[in-house]
Amino acid sequence: VADSLTGNVVWLVAGTGLLGLAADRFVVGAVRVAARLQVSTVVAGALIIGCGTSAPEMVVSVLAVVRQGSEGMSLAVGNIVGSNVANLSLVLAIPVLIWGGLSVERGTGRQALLSLAGVAAFALLAAFSRPRLWTGLLLVALLVVALRLVVLLGEGFAGQGSTMRGGRPVMDWVWTLLGLVGTIAAAHVVVESSIEIGAELGWTGGFVGFTLVAVGTSLPELVTAAVAARRHQWG
């Protein structure tokens, strides 16, 4: 990442462009893989795309805490809160505003309840306890339970998933993995340049995490949601 403010802005723009290309390949590959496995788009969206595009938040938060200690924790928490705000507002709003015609599968509403439960659990732990090993283990356990519930709920709508025959299944997996790697790499460039821009402007770690880093790490979700909406994959 460049040292100057102008250089970091250039990296930010370049990373955003690469992010769009990588996310498009990721969505195409993930949808094709899900179709071959006869998985509903609800499950595909939550597991394949949801977990994959959340990797930047996890990587950035872990690196921030390891490198910067308490200041990194402020950045990490700001990143988490800001990313959730962006995901629940901007990521949902942009595809609808651009393409409209929102058609949501029934299972998606139940996923939204799980999202609210996860946000509530994080808020309670953040408000009434200090970060400890047991809180991390508890959140991981809740994640496993939530993903299992998503799969169970999605199985009830498995008939809504499409099937695909022909072509080369291996290439679908290759495109999915390449798209995911490209998405994460591009998001890393976006986040690093955002942090440098924030440092140049004298912003604190928490504010940088809530604004630039949160928006940067939410770009994979935003771009994949927009691409999926363009391809009418609303699940």
Res 160 pLDDT > 70 = no
Rounded CA separation 4/199 (Å) = 11
If one compares 64 and 154, the residue with the highest pLDDT of the two is 64
Q: Give the pair of three-digit tokens for residue 234.
A: 């609303």
DSSP at 210: I
Match 């939550």 to its residue by tokens.
46
Return the pLDDT at 158: 47
Separation of alpha carbons 25 and 20, rounded Å: 9
If you average pLDDT over residues 110-139, what whole number do you get?
80
Quick one: what percent of the chain has pLDDT higher than 70? Answer: 76
Determine the average pLDDT of the residues in 127-149: 82
pLDDT score, position 167: 61
Position 109 pLDDT exceeds 60: yes
Q: Check: CB of residue 72 under 8 Å from CB of residue 200.
A: no
Closest CA relative to residue 147, chosen from 219, 48, 28:
48
Domain ranges across the chain: 5-230
| Higher-scoring residue by pLDDT: 159, 102 | 102
CA–CA gap between residue 153 and residue 131 (Å, rounded): 31
% of the chain at pLDDT higher than 90: 0
Q: Using CB atoms within 10 A of its CB, is residue 137 exposed (0-12), middle (13-18) or buried (19+)?
A: exposed
Residue 127 — very low, low, confident or very high, per pLDDT cuts 50/70/90? confident
> Does 11 have pLDDT greater than 80?
yes
Contacts of 68 (CB under 8 A, 6+ apart): 75, 205
Which amino acid is located at 109 in the chain? G
Residue 180 scores a pLDDT above 70:
yes
